[in-house]
Amino acid sequence: MAEPTVNPFPPIKIGIVSVSDRASSGIYVDKGVPALQNWLKRAVKNPMQFEPRLISDEQATISATLMELVEAGCALVLTTGGTGPALRDVTPEATLAIAHKVMPGFGEQMRQISLNFVPTAILSRQVAVIRDQTLIINLPGQPKSIAETLEGLRDTDGKSLVPGIFAAVPYCVDLIGGPYIETHEAVCQAFRPKTAIRTFGQEP
Ligand SMILES: Nc1ncnc2c1ncn2[C@@H]1O[C@H](COP(=O)(O)OP(=O)(O)OP(=O)(O)O)[C@@H](O)[C@H]1O
Ligand SMILES: Nc1nc2c(c(=O)[nH]1)N[C@H]1C(S)=C(S)[C@@H](COP(=O)(O)O)O[C@H]1N2
């Protein structure tokens, strides 16, 4: 009988935060956490431990949740929701309030990518920041925007036309001392400079 394949990549803990007044109060079923987890399971080869949270659009609650996930050792935290102009949308403010470094390129690139999908892409004020050794990235609340921004745009044959922002996440996590993230190229081709590329045993 064949030996079960051991995943050679380092484990990674990932915080998944769905920020939605309506989903967190039960008005509708949250689709943010499942959409994020499903996309990550398709894209990432490492063993992943998810830390899911479903919270309301309260700035103090969002900041406290992000800090708790940083303390818990998440190398990456993805939020969804609360990035727009509505009065209750405060995810970017809550994220910037706990930032040690701001990473403007992620938000800029996500708005560019999203313009290929919706003309209202510019309404998202999404940001990305680093706190300690954690990369935190805001995504819009529409569940479909998760794959759109992380994976980018494909043609009808599935060929990548515009890479999603996740292509830059593994190297960013390397640079802040996190685990080496390997991706499934068919979903997301991560980019690293040649000198940063490592190989791990037998790949699953
Ligand atoms: N967590 C979620 N689960 C399921 N659908 C969602 C979620 N967040 C947003 N949506 C959908 O996307 C649409 C646009 O999101 P909108 O910007 O109104 O929500 P939000 O401000 O992120 O969430 P909420 O209004 O609950 O605080 C919503 O009408 C809803 O259909
Ligand atoms: N890729 C993508 N980006 C998107 C959208 C989308 O459907 N797909 N929706 C836009 C809309 S309509 C809004 S109002 C803003 C903010 O959404 P949020 O408040 O739910 O975070 O994200 C924008 N960015």
- Tens of pLDDT, residue by residue over 67-93, are 999 999 999 999 999 999 999 999 999
How far, in Å, CA of 70 to CA of 133, rounded? 8
Q: Count CB neighbours of 24 within 10 A.
A: 18
Confidence grade of residue 203 (pLDDT, cut at 50, 70, 90): low
Confidence of residue 1 (pLDDT cuts 50, 70, 90): low
Regarding pTM above 0.80, the answer is yes
Which residue has the CA at smallest separation from atom 22 of ligand 2?
124
Q: Give the tokens for residue 164.
A: 């999603």
Specify the length of the chain in residues.
Answer: 204
Does ipTM come in above 0.90? yes
> Which conformational region is residue 21 in: left (phi greater than 0), alpha (psi within -120 to 50 degrees), or beta?
alpha
Distance from C-alpha of 74 to C-alpha of 195, rounded to nearest angstrom? 25
d(CA 37, CA 11): 15
Question: At 138, is the pLDDT very low, low, confident or very high (cuts 50, 70, 90)?
Answer: very high
- In CATH, which of 3.40.980.10, 3.60.150.10, 3.40.50.720, 3.30.479.30 is domain 12-196? 3.40.980.10
Query: What percent of the chain is predicted at pLDDT more than 90?
Result: 95
Strand partners, 50: 14
User: Which residue's CA is minimally distant from atom 11 of ligand 2?
Assistant: 120
What's the gap in Å between 9 CA and the centre of ligand 2? 33
